[in-house]
Amino acid sequence: MYNITLTQHLQGLAKKFKLGKTVNDQQFLTHFIANIDEIQAIFHMIYGQHPNYSTFFEQLLESIFETHAARSKALKERDEEKAKQGFWYLSNQLMGMSLYVDRFAGNLKGMSSKLDYLQKLGVNYLHLMPIFESPEGESDGGYAVSDFRKVDKRFGSNKDLIDLQKELQAKNMYLMIDIVLNHTSHHHEWAKKAKAGSKEYQDYFYFYDDRKIPDQMDETMPEIFPESSPGSFTYIPEADKWAMTVFHHYQWDLNYTNPKVFLEMLSNVFHYGNLGVDVLRIDAPAFIWKEMGTTCQNLPKAHKLLQLIKLCTEVATPGMALLGEAIVAPAQIMEYFGTGRFVNHECDVAYNATQMAVQWDALATGDTRIMLAAQQELQKKPLGGTWITYTRCHDDIGLGYDDYMIEQAGFTPYLHRHYLKNYYGGIQTDSPAAGALFAVNPKTQDARLSGSLASLCGLEKAIASKNATAIQTSIDKITMMQAQSMFVGGVPMLFYGDEAAYTNDYTYLQDPGKSYDNRWMHRPIIDWKKNAAVDSPKSVENKVFSNLQKLIKLRKSLKVVADLKNIHWLEVHNNSIIGFERYLNGEKVYFLFNFSAEPQEVTYYMLGAYGERATTMKDLWSGKTIQIGMDHDHLAFAPYQFYVLK
């Protein structure tokens, strides 16, 4: 909506900030004018009651101008290129990898020499796990940040990060880093001042004099780390108060009812934008607003805050997309793409945690019906938003998809999850998978799962028992799981180490800063001698790596896999097989996956009834040509085989 008063105000600020007549400056102003009415409406809705509301609003506007003024020419040019492409992150050319800089390459400087390896694989989008200052031993893998602007010396310097960003940009690669929006480390200067008794800084967090409110809130707040950090509040002896700590006791939740907190954190968002970040991963966005009597997750005002951030970054750092790391129930994940008139004005990208989890479900049971049931929800993703698709990441695997999906497939939710936990969690001794239960809740027996891709797919046990057939089966499973993530729609995000078949690493148990968190079993320290084996034909590393390399090449050659709401799930009439059709501009490709350990078959009927199909098709994966039979003829699958049929 055009708001004349605010527009005139912005024009005044444009003079103050000496905006020129350049196309870029004019575009900035146009975007600002287009968004200002909504920016004000949301800011007012959340902070309108504050006595200093107008001052804070003015600060918000000025910070947007400052960010634009400070944005480099190179980044402004890149913004323009991205704007020309439209939704640039929907492209089939993107291929991501998430990695810990220290565990992968030693430090940021070391990353440079590893880019060739990544490019050889086909990766062009890097998610660097948190690199800002974080106290060793109380770091949650970097997600307890004590300084949002200072690269932790373990990784190098701020300059090293800037150099890496420039190198990536020159190589046409993309950079993603995190903003840990929900909390800070208790070593952050705000937390230190709060501990020392400053009321102003205690208000940056949720501080309580006694257990009265914490006890009431604990009633409805699910525990995130029930084993290592039970409850959601921690006693702070220095201040003789209780702080809200939803994650670990050393991660203090920020209080977004305080406009100062919002403005400080928005300024950090802008700072990352001006560092040249292409995609900003907003860590744990589901948690940023809290209200008594609720789970304190996915609340409407959490969405409003994200929309506000989005509207501001659309103006100030337009080339930077936002990824909302909301690992919540399927229907709730969907809301992070924005709802109503905010569709495409909240997060551009979200993790397809549901698809990831149902993949593991199908692999354990050999039954794909839950995966199919989940698509009813997943298909609702709006055009313009996209997924991170993945089989593994640095976190655990949650089994948080809905009970109705399990019931629709004919299973009992409690027993079904029990089966999965036994299968992957190191309990069922004859399971091929080697993993562990994570965050077991003693009250509810809920649990999530840890373990590396390779170990969960059976490689660890197969190698230990020197069973060549089992080794090959696990490679087939790894490849099929990765293939599905590659083609299902979204930006595939590999997890470092998985490309070279790393199995679980149990050395974390010797490190007291990590031993309480078994997610470290699947966060390997890269041994480049092992990775060199990706070039030794016949090695396991080589088989996994070269399959992945081939899949990535195939993905990049297929425009139909760009994420344009161009997917149709097939009814294949075989519970072990799942498939979808991807289509674009008259081109059609069918992707079919056998999740079972047995040979399977489906009739050609599933490719389109009554003969509306080609007589021969090429399997782009194996290179073989397939004669397509009559409706009742069969396409045969070996265990864990998949087809890419064109």
178 assigned to active site: no
Q: Which of 152, 325, 396, 460 is catalytic?
A: 325
Residue with smaller CB distance to ligand GLC, 493 or 561 = 493
**Quick one: which segment of 96-104, 136-144, 203-211, 375-383 binds ligand GLC (CB under 6 A)?**
136-144
Tokens of 344: 């495409």
Site for ligand GLC in 298-357 (CB under 6 A): 325
Q: Which stretch binds ligand GLC (CB under 6 A): 7-15, 139-147, 373-381, 582-590?
A: 139-147
* C-beta closer to ligand GLC: residue 10 or 328: 328
> Measured from the CB of residue 101, what is the shortest distance to ligand GLC in angstroms?
15
Give the whole-angstrom CA distance, residue 240 versus residue 237: 5
Q: What's the min distance (Å) between Cβ of 399 and ligand GLC?
A: 16
143 or 336: CB nearest ligand GLC? 143
Tokens encoding 148: 């949002």
* Binding residues for ligand GLC, total number by CB under 6 A: 10
Classify burial at 30, counting beta carbons within 10 Å of its beta carbon; exposed 0-12, middle 13-18, buried 19 or more: exposed
Catalytic residue among 79, 283, 460, 581: 283
Binding mask 466-505 for ligand GLC (x = CB under 6 A): ----------------------------------------
275 close to 253: Cβ distance less than 8 angstroms: no
We find the least distance from the C-beta atom of residue 188 to ligand GLC, in angstroms, to be 14
Nearer to ligand GLC, 283 or 361 (CB): 283
Residues 6+ apart with CB under 8 A from 130: 141, 142, 143, 145, 177, 178, 180
Q: Residue 468, Cβ neighbours under 10 Å: how many? A: 8
The residue with tokens 């979200």 is 350
Please identify, using beta-carbon distances, which residue of 122 and 324 lies nearer to ligand GLC.
Answer: 324
Across 274-393, where does the E strand assignment appear?
279-283, 321-325, 349-351, 386-389
Nearby residues of 535 by Cβ (< 8 Å), 6 or more positions away: 542
Contact with ligand GLC (CB under 6 A) among 47, 242, 247, 502? 247
DSSP secondary structure code for residue 611 in this structure: T
Give residue 244's identity as a one-letter amino acid code.
M
DSSP state of 523: S
User: Interior CA angle at 104 toward 103 and 106, to 5°?
Assistant: 70
Single-letter code of the amino acid located at 295:
T
* CB within 8 Å of 517: residues ≥ 6 apart: 140, 225, 228, 508
CA angle 241, 299, 180 (to 5 degrees): 65
Does 180 bind ligand GLC (CB under 6 A)? Our answer is: yes
Distance in Å from the first CA to the final CA of the chain: 47
Q: Please tell me the distance from the alpha carbon of residue 594 to that of residue 589, in angstroms, as a whole number.
A: 17
Least separation in angstroms between residue 102's CB and ligand GLC is 16
Task: Read off the amino acid at residue 161.
Answer: L
- For the question of residue 325 being annotated catalytic, the response is yes
Question: Which x/- pattern, by CB under 6 A, does the window 49-68 give for ligand GLC?
Answer: --------------------
Q: What sign does the dihedral 269-89-491-106 (CA atoms) show?
A: negative
- Pair 247, 293: CB distance under 8 Å: no
Is 395 near ligand GLC (CB under 6 A)? yes
Taking CB under 6 A as the rule, does residue 141 contact ligand GLC?
yes
Return d(Cα 252, Cα 191) in angstroms, integer: 8
Shortest distance (Å) from residue 201 CB to ligand GLC: 21
Cβ pair 338, 345 in contact under 8 A:
yes
273 versus 285: smaller Cβ distance to ligand GLC? 285
Of the pair 143, 342, the CB lying nearest ligand GLC is at 143
Nearer to ligand GLC, 224 or 564 (CB): 224
> Interface with ligand GLC includes 265 (CB under 6 A)?
no
Residue 493 CB, shortest distance to ligand GLC, in Å, is 12
Q: Residues 421, 447: contact at Cβ < 8 Å? A: yes
State which of residues 283, 361, 446, 476 lies at the interface with ligand GLC (CB under 6 A). 283
Instruction: Give the residue, chosen from 121, 191, 221, 284, that forms a contact with ligand GLC under the rule CB under 6 A.
Output: 284
Using the rule CB under 6 A, is 140 a contact of ligand GLC?
yes
Q: Is 201 in the site for ligand GLC (CB under 6 A)?
A: no
To ligand GLC, the closest distance from the beta carbon of 247 in angstroms equals 4
Residue nearest to ligand GLC (CB): 143
**143 is a contact residue toward ligand GLC (CB under 6 A):** yes
Q: Kindly give the residue spans of alpha helices, DSSP state H, lying in 196-258.
A: 199-202, 212-218
Nearest distance from C-beta of residue 393 to ligand GLC, angstroms? 7
Active site residues: 283, 325
Q: Which residues bind ligand GLC (CB under 6 A)?
A: 140-141, 143, 180, 247, 283-284, 325, 394-395
